[in-house]
């Protein structure tokens, strides 16, 4: 069975469309690196911090506190962001691109 790998890139916004935004800052990554966690724990920690940072963006765009986000609202936001990207690839927060890996 052939699986397709999808690469997610984050766009900063209208003012810097061509720039990529990471949901994990260098400072946050550095804190994880010096945390003393195992490699697996560091991965999970980076993933969690990145997710929190994306949730902050979604919360702001949806005009609701993070505590009010739920699976339905997140799925709705992803669909809206995907539609934005289909209309104008640079307008979406998440820039989904085919990595070209034939996995």
Could you report the average pLDDT of every consecutive run of 10 residues in the chain (103 residues)? 40 47 89 96 96 96 96 96 88 71 45
Q: Kind of pairing, strands 20-21 and 94-98?
A: unpaired
Per-residue pLDDT at 1: 37
Residue 26: HSE in the Cβ half-sphere, 13 Å Cα cutoff: 0
Instruction: Name which of 63, 83, 88 is nearest 73 in CA terms.
Output: 63
Per-residue pLDDT at 19: 52
Per-residue pLDDT at 15: 44
Q: Where are the domains of the chain?
A: 6-98
pTM over 0.75? The answer is no
Per-residue pLDDT at 96: 66
């Amino acid at each position: 069975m052939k699986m397709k790998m999808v690469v997610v890139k984050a766009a900063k916004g209208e003012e810097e469309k061509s720039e990529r935004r990471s949901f994990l800052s260098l400072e946050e990554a550095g804190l994880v690196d010096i945390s003393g966690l195992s490699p697996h724990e560091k991965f999970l920690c980076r993933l969690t911090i990145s997710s929190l940072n994306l949730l902050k963006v979604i919360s702001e765009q949806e005009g609701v506190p993070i505590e009010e986000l739920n699976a339905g609202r997140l799925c709705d936001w992803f669909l809206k962001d995907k539609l934005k990207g289909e209309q104008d690839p640079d307008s979406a927060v998440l820039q989904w691109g085919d990595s070209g890996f034939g996995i």
